[in-house]
Amino acid sequence: MAEETKPSEAKKAKPPAIEKKPFTEFMEEHFLPGLKDAFPGVGVEDMKLSFVKEKLPIANISNEECWQVKGNWDGGKRQFNLYFPDESITGQKGFSYSTNGSQPSTLESFMIDERRITLDLMVMYTIQRLNSQKWLTRN
């Protein structure tokens, strides 16, 4: 009887990291749902998030459109924006916030020192940045 040879087990190819997906797909399918899921854990139940491409709402800043994650809660009294002018999670990112429906007055850098950007880090840094405003938990 001839000895049966087993085909060598092919190594299972790892699926590509979700962060390697096209920018808009990653943002819509992973980042927004992940961020929305994180807010109840910090006491925010009425977060409204959107992902839009529009002009920056800050006076004296370029009128070019860029992708933004916009969030508001507390009946619209608190708002934040994350900006992605390079249409990439690894490119430049900015942050602004405002209260009571006013326009943000400054644009701050966001996640500038991270070498590797992951979904979990993006969610954590967003929550951390909002918490630094003392908007989420008592400090």
Six-digit token string for 131: 């918490």
Whether residue 7 is contained in a domain is answered as no
pLDDT for res 43: 86
Q: Does residue 13 lie within any of the structural domains?
A: no
Per-residue pLDDT of the chain (139 residues; tens, 9 = 90+): 555 555 555 567 777 788 889 999 999 999 999 999 999 988 888 899 999 999 887 776 767 889 999 999 888 889 999 999 999 999 999 999 998 888 887 888 999 888 889 999 999 999 999 988 777 765 4
Task: Report CA-CA distances (Å) from 10 to 3, 4, 17.
Answer: 20, 17, 20
In a domain, 113, yes or no: yes
pTM value is 0.81
Query: Would you say residue 5 lies in a domain?
Result: no
Host domain of residue 119: 19-132
Q: Is residue 117 part of a domain?
A: yes
**What are the backbone dihedrals phi and psi of residue 34, each rounded to the nearest 5 degrees, phi first?**
-65, -40
Strand order in the sheet with 48-55: 48-55, 65-73, 78-84, 94-99, 108-109
The DSSP letter of residue 20 is G
**What secondary structure letter does DSSP report for 87?**
S
Give domain status of residue 63, yes or no.
yes
Instruction: Answer whether residue 114 is part of any domain.
Output: yes
pLDDT digits (tens, 9 = 90+) for 17-46: 888 899 999 999 999 999 999 999 888 888
> What is the helix, strand, coil percentage profile of the chain, to 5?
25, 25, 50
CA distances from 66 to 57, 96, 125 (A): 11, 14, 20
**Contact assessment for residue 69 and residue 31, using Cβ atoms and an 8 Å cutoff:** yes
Q: Give residue 139's pLDDT.
A: 44
Q: What is the pLDDT of residue 106?
A: 81
Q: Please count the structural domains in the chain.
A: 1
Per-residue pLDDT at 81: 94
Residue 12 is assigned to a structural domain of this protein: no
